[in-house]
Amino acid sequence: MNIGLGLYRHMLTPDNFRFARQAGATHIVAHLVDYFSSGPRIPSAQDDGWGLAGGGIDIWEPDNLRALKKSIEEEGLELAAVENLDPTQWHDILLDGPRRDEQIETVKGIIRTFGEVGIPMLGYNFSIAGVWGHVEDAYARGGALSVGFLGPDGPKENPIRKGMVWNMIYDPDAPAGTLEPITHDQLWSRFEHFLNAVLPVAEESGVKLALHPDDPPMPTLRGTPRLVYQPRFYQRVLDMKPSRSNTLEFCIGSLSEMTEGDIYEVVDEYSRQQAIGYVHFRNVRGKVPFYREVFVDEGDVDMIRVVRILHDNGYDGVLIPDHTPQMTCDAPWHAGMAYAMGYMRAILNMIEAA
């Protein structure tokens, strides 16, 4: 197994690549979507979400992806995956809108480019409401700032305006009004159409798609259905189109926040099927509708046990810290990540040496 660091768009710099390597990472997972173009990302729970999508979209051009990959490799690291599509690239795939077929071709093109450039994986989150509804507070040990989901005590779930999906605005000039309600079955059929269309291209290109579960894993959010809000829905995803390219962006945090299933059995079940693309390695206290994200060693999940199961089932991919609480110092985000990666390194050394 390998340790990676996930870096947001504005953090894809040589200094942060060096930081990753210094903290024991061998791999980078790069977010190309600029969630921060309109301001701070967290708390996410505003009606307009993270703001405008499509910022800096030119980074998806083949030459720019090549340059990104090269700059990562120059620091002795590998680019393991790109995490998330920009809503401007696939809003009508999620919403079944008039540009759906055109955007399916866009996503196929992205996957082909990844194959040519040598980016082995695309993480994605097939979600209409996206990551929404968290609040920030001193939820982690020692009063470290972290995020939590408070269910009915949290932000009010207003309907999503037209021109918005995945918690970002793709069309600021969209007509007034909110998204039409749809059922879970309709969402699954949109997903199935997407998977049927793009998986053959992923296979040909040697690229894996890796699906993140819903965060937060509520059955519905802001009046929209969610896809993978219980562990068993991951099996439905795999069975829908069995393929070496149909994999999971396996978020231990989100899976542990779900109301069904035992997290260790869930890890065993999916790692045994060799279905995991890469792992989001984070810990949490509680389950929906009330949980808090905490340090890797203070949550409900025994993360050492999780790694042991992954190891026993032959998982040899990447683990990234996902999110962590922010530590009180001049570099709150970096300190939190370094703490998580040091903990992960020690687990791997212990288990792989045994």
Site for Mn ion in 145-184 (CB under 5 A): none
Closer CB to Mn ion, 84 or 89, in the complex: 84
Site for Mn ion in 74-103 (CB under 5 A): none
Number of C-beta neighbours around residue 53 at 10 A: 28
Under the binding rule (CB under 5 A), the answer on residue 214 touching Mn ion is no
CB of 48 to Mn ion, least distance (A): 22
Closer CB to Mn ion, 9 or 280, in the complex: 280
Say how far apart CA 354 and CA 341 lie, in whole Å. Answer: 20
Residue in 295, 268, 273 with CA at minimum distance from that of residue 284:
295
Number of C-beta neighbours around residue 107 at 10 A: 21
How many residues bind Mn ion (CB under 5 A)? The answer is 3
Ranges assigned E (strand) in the chain: 2-7, 27-31, 78-83, 121-124, 134-140, 144-149, 164-165, 168-169, 208-211, 220-221, 224-225, 246-251, 276-280, 283-287, 290-294, 318-320
Residues found in the chain: 354
Under the binding rule (CB under 5 A), the answer on residue 31 touching Mn ion is no
Question: Which stretch of DSSP H or E encloses residue 195?
Answer: helix 184-205
Quick one: which of 322, 337, 343, 344 contacts Mn ion (CB under 5 A)?
A: 322
Task: At 4, list the tokens.
Answer: 């990676």
Number of C-beta neighbours around residue 332 at 10 A: 15
CB of 253 to Mn ion, least distance (A): 6
At 345, which amino acid appears?
A: R
Stretch that binds Mn ion, among 16-24, 27-35, 274-282, 284-292 (CB under 5 A): 274-282
**CA separation, residue 77 to residues 47, 68, 209 (Å):** 38, 12, 21
Stretch that binds Mn ion, among 21-29, 162-170, 178-186, 321-329 (CB under 5 A): 321-329
Closer CB to Mn ion, 222 or 280, in the complex: 280
Closer CB to Mn ion, 251 or 303, in the complex: 251
CB of 185 to Mn ion, least distance (A): 26
Closer CB to Mn ion, 88 or 254, in the complex: 254
CB of 280 to Mn ion, least distance (A): 4
Under the binding rule (CB under 5 A), the answer on residue 280 touching Mn ion is yes
CB of 322 to Mn ion, least distance (A): 4
Site for Mn ion in 231-270 (CB under 5 A): 251
Q: Which residues bind Mn ion (CB under 5 A)?
A: 251, 280, 322
